[in-house]
Amino acid sequence: MKVSIVLPIYNEDENIPILYKELKAVFDREKIDYEVIAVNDSSRDGSLGELKKIAAKDKNVKVISFRFNSGQTAAMSAGIKNATGDVIIPMDADLQNDPADIPKFLSKINEGFDVVSGWRQKRQDKVLMRKIPSMIANWMIRTITGVKIHDYGCSMKAYRRDIIQGVQLYGEMHRFIPAYTAWHGGKVTEIVVNHRARIHGVAKYGIGRTFRVILDLIVVKFLSKYMDRPIHFFGGLGFISLGLGVIAGMWALILKIFAIRDFVATPLPIFSALFIIVGVQLAAMGVVAEMVMRVYYESQDKAPYKIAETINL
């Protein structure tokens, strides 16, 4: 089994040599066939220079350097696309993820799981700026996706190559891969990992990242459930809006008939018109989305399903 370690890197020049030594010690001790794909996300320090030094000594270390800063998910996606290992393990380059946990991930993969997610049970981060927003985001992700993982934000995960290489990653969507895998019949589990305090450098993400994750979660939920039937999503919302509009209009009419309240004395007619207009627009949007969906699948000869195996076909 060959293992590909994917390292998104941004301004981690002090951590890179230490991390490589720790990784190499694990590979040598466990006799792991490995490659390390380091993706330099246009670092402004000496990270690229450190990577070049290591790559010159170890041909199993491969370096991709971006022209401009594109974010962690983009760096992770580039590393995954260029990985050749049977198992792909992304991890942070800030030394907070512990390379000593790699054998535990491989053990779970060998048990038959498709995705093994790390759980930073004893997280070494600031409570207000990192832990509390992370707890809220994880609770929302678990609730919406239905996949009960404690720590979606942990970068250190293990994936079977055939599971992850067909997944396109945008925004902050790398954290939703376990949910995506579970929705498509994959086996997902998690293990407790060692999380270490940062020694060198500064954290690259703050509380603002939580809001971006929530927005991406809405997109992921839509793509997973309504990608091939968008009319059900927009049409459902449209019917709700139309229903509210009809109810508001009928209530305003009843008030008028029984001389309780004039149309001009209540906002109900305005609400009725507003909800009806929005309902019609949502239904029309659903029709347009259906046309776009068909163009997407048919122009690329794609199918809204995946075949696991066939017999006598």
If you average pLDDT over each of 83-87, 145-149, 196-200, 301-305, which comes out highest?
Answer: 83-87
Domain boundary among 226, 253, 288: 226
If you average pLDDT over each of 137-141, 152-156, 214-218, 233-237, which comes out highest?
Answer: 233-237
Residue 269 pLDDT > 60: yes
Helix ranges (H only) for the chain are 16-30, 47-57, 72-81, 102-110, 132-145, 161-164, 177-183, 208-226, 230-257, 268-299
- Average pLDDT of the chain, as a whole number: 87
CA dist 82 and 61 (Å) reads 12
The tally of domains found in the chain comes to 2
Which of the four pLDDT bands, split at 50, 70 and 90, describes residue 275? very high
Q: Is residue 70 domain-resident?
A: yes
Count of Cβ atoms closer than 10 Å to residue 183 Cβ = 17
Look up the domain containing 146 and give its range: 2-226
Is 208 found in the same domain as 79?
A: yes
Is 133 found in the same domain as 252?
A: no
Q: Is residue 131 domain-resident?
A: yes
